[in-house]
Structure 1
């Protein structure tokens, strides 16, 4: 009988994406012996098929959009032409540089700590590898990420379907595309394709897009996005094969069918936990088969197992994955000593134009609100971007800011200002006591802050001056 190779370590990390790399680095800092298992070591999802290539497509779309609308400034730009092959060529070249930079980081790890292959739990502390070797660890970090799934209704035309893992490998821009799903990926890419001259339709079973429930904000978002592409909301979809491409059928709030070159599936990224052998670990799984865990320690029950990043189906954004990975790596290294760490202020963005940004906790019935409209804001009008709205909420005793929802020019930058204010417990009055330079987009926050102060009698003195367009 052949002898089975046994590998021993303090911490085994499954998955070399953003969360897994953060877990690996933190566990090493704690002095642990760590083994990192991944089937490809190709780099992070963000660099390869997520954040960076999507922003490259968005940047190209925005450039085309700006050129078409330069006439408002008296600048004639005649004969706008989008070269799809050059657009996609630049995207892939820059993406590959980003991905190469993340892979270069692997060189920092100690020799012999990276194992290429797939791992499967044999028990809570033993992993079986494809080549027959077994890893025994004191603790394990699951950081396997997520992956897109083609819905049942589109299996018939799976070869014509794209996901965020394949869309950026297009050699040329399609003439038409149907986007299924109005979440972050679907919203960003549908608008980018439309701005690049691709006939684009966005479909979603919900009657809202971007996950925004504020009715006034949702109306504004649909008006803005709907001016650039076709929206079919509140509908169920399925696909069938047509001679010239993919036929998308929709029914519900409306019914119809249309043929497209491709269908982009943007309905989410379920955790990649299949065939991981979680049933052997003794940890509790929810109805979807995802481990139940503590968000402030990343520990699964009381087991020596921790889970971080998209694998836990919680908050699919990079800074959260990195933070979760660090927590998981530290606690895995020091297990059975486990430290609970408060989570960062909630913060997410969708890079549509304008950007949709969320800051802080969801408002409660006791919250007070202030709103700012950007349809008449001075700097926004100067830039010909006078569209949008900001809602800021605060607790009702002192006006301490607790969160905000933004859909306006400059939102990706102003949201960072607001996340700091929320994290440090700053009040609306304290915000107004500091300078807002004129003319800036940030000035547009002042009406919302003033409204909050007007609802809180003890808010103190604040700047009541109103400058043009502020």
Structure 2
């Protein structure tokens, strides 16, 4: 380290992205500090991935145990099922505390300096932490995101709230409106209906689950929404939401709903205000994102940005991958991020996962580059393990080039989809062809054979 700097690297934001970058920086011999204004672990650990998965695990067990007809087919009969909402909430809280402690301790053990306070740029290679100036050869901004609340919606944190409050599961409303049908809206509809709430899902766009492959969204509506206590309003915007008892929701159709609670799940926006970007001569784009290239570099030398603040792929594991890429370049080894091979999942029951391109995206790419695509599906109902579990709802869909067989995308809906997707993720990272993937051997009987069957159908035409 040059003695003119306090650190080789200062990371602003100790979420999953900042944590991953710090670990990799230490492994590369960089003297590193991480600055955090709030909770170590950021959104994922405190208000996102971790507590929501704990709630989904508990509520999913309740759903399974209440499915008496399904259990009867397995030869199992049980009595009435009871649950303790506060104990479920405590489980989620315990998970948060453990993960936060583990993350903090891992940084301390490796000698990363943890600096509590609001960090912002004070010029090139300078970070101001509550008035204290720290210098670093390189700076990574990893400041994450916050829930987006559309105009006209008032929050009180109790009857009208975002996922930040939702993961605390302070109470169970009899009837809750969920605004948005993306990952967050879907997962919370799964939690609430499993625990006995009725849901009205309000989606402003013309289709439910607009971010998913259309075929996946169609089946998800049939198995995750229609059989449950979920009413849907599609192509409808909530123009005004007033907290209280009841919560009053005015729709742009003129209809007025009166519900017990409202979860606002309308996406997230970058937390990039008051970061001192103007001190280095850069501005965030009109949506607030910090522009970076494939190496995670901004246009300012020695300044990098990763995670939700960049808006590239707003997922915790994507942020961690971006952090590794940034540190690789800081260490002098050229590296770029490969977004096409980063998987995503919704942890509903059953799960949804995907990697790569959706069919519409693949068609757009094919038209632009002059090739043709093809798609195949393979179904859980033909899989021996799924049949043994009596969990046969679902399918795997793959999208590939007709000429080379290159795998462009994989989409799975069904049990353990979030685990199965990584085989396809690795294949896309290698730009593998279905003609080679068909030679992979899968254990029998396993759910992984759903993808195996898809590759065979693609390769054999």
TM-score band w.r.t. shorter chain? 0.7 to 0.9
Match of 1:388 in 2: 394
Match of 1:39 in 2: 37
Counterpart Cα distance in 2 of 1:196 and 1:284: 45
SS at structure 2 position matched to 1:123: coil
* TM superposition shift of 1:156: 6.3
Match of 2:52 in 1: 54
Where do 1:336-347 residues align within 5 Å? 339-343=334-338, 345-347=341-343
Match of 1:355 in 2: 351
Where do 1:142-161 residues align within 5 Å? 142-155=141-154, 160-161=159-160
* TM superposition shift of 1:90: 2.3
SS at structure 2 position matched to 1:207: coil
Counterpart Cα distance in 1 of 2:439 and 2:25: 44
* TM superposition shift of 1:40: 3.1
What's the RMSD between the two structures over aligned residues? 2.6
Match of 1:115 in 2: 115
- Structure 1 residues 173 and 243 mapped into 2: Cα distance closer, same or farther (>3 Å)? closer
Counterpart Cα distance in 1 of 2:31 and 2:441: 51
Instruction: Select the residue among 416, 427, 450 that pairs with 1:421.
Output: 427
- Structure 1 residues 83 and 347 mapped into 2: Cα distance closer, same or farther (>3 Å)? same
Is the radius of gyration larger for structure 1 or structure 2? 1
Counterpart Cα distance in 2 of 1:159 and 1:171: 8
Counterpart Cα distance in 2 of 1:66 and 1:89: 21
Where do 1:94-243 residues align within 5 Å? 94-110=95-111, 113-130=113-130, 132-155=131-154, 160-212=159-211, 214-226=213-225, 227-228=227-228, 229-241=230-242
- Listed as ranges, the gaps of 5+ residues in structure 1 are 1-5, 456-470
Where do 1:292-307 residues align within 5 Å? 292-295=291-294, 297-307=295-305
Counterpart Cα distance in 1 of 2:244 and 2:424: 52
- Comparing 442-451 and 75-84, the one that deviates more: 442-451
* TM superposition shift of 1:72: 3.4
- Listed as ranges, the gaps of 5+ residues in structure 2 are 367-371
* TM superposition shift of 1:377: 4.4
Match of 1:76 in 2: 77
- Structure 1 residues 320 and 231 mapped into 2: Cα distance closer, same or farther (>3 Å)? same
SS at structure 1 position matched to 2:143: coil
* TM superposition shift of 1:141: 0.8
* TM superposition shift of 1:172: 3.5
Match of 1:316 in 2: 314
Match of 1:409 in 2: 415
Match of 2:88 in 1: 87
* TM superposition shift of 1:302: 4.5
Deviations 1:90-109, CA, capped at 9 Å, x for gaps: 22223322222222223224
TM-score when scaled to structure 2?
0.87
Counterpart Cα distance in 2 of 1:243 and 1:304: 49
C-alpha contact 1:284 1:301 (8 A) present in aligned 2: no
- Structure 1 residues 156 and 266 mapped into 2: Cα distance closer, same or farther (>3 Å)? closer
SS at structure 2 position matched to 1:387: coil
Deviations 1:322-360, CA, capped at 9 Å, x for gaps: 12112223434x4xx572334261311111222111122
SS at structure 1 position matched to 2:421: helix
- Structure 1 residues 87 and 175 mapped into 2: Cα distance closer, same or farther (>3 Å)? farther
Instruction: Select the residue among 436, 452, 459 that pairs with 1:453.
Output: 459
C-alpha contact 1:428 1:453 (8 A) present in aligned 2: yes
Counterpart Cα distance in 2 of 1:66 and 1:216: 25
C-alpha contact 1:180 1:186 (8 A) present in aligned 2: yes
C-alpha contact 2:5 2:137 (8 A) present in aligned 1: no
Counterpart Cα distance in 2 of 1:158 and 1:384: 40
- Structure 1 residues 238 and 156 mapped into 2: Cα distance closer, same or farther (>3 Å)? farther
Counterpart Cα distance in 1 of 2:409 and 2:250: 39
SS at structure 2 position matched to 1:59: helix
Match of 1:459 in 2: none
- Structure 1 residues 440 and 35 mapped into 2: Cα distance closer, same or farther (>3 Å)? closer
SS at structure 2 position matched to 1:169: coil
Deviations 1:267-324, CA, capped at 9 Å, x for gaps: 22211111112122123532223222112x1100242210011111111222221121
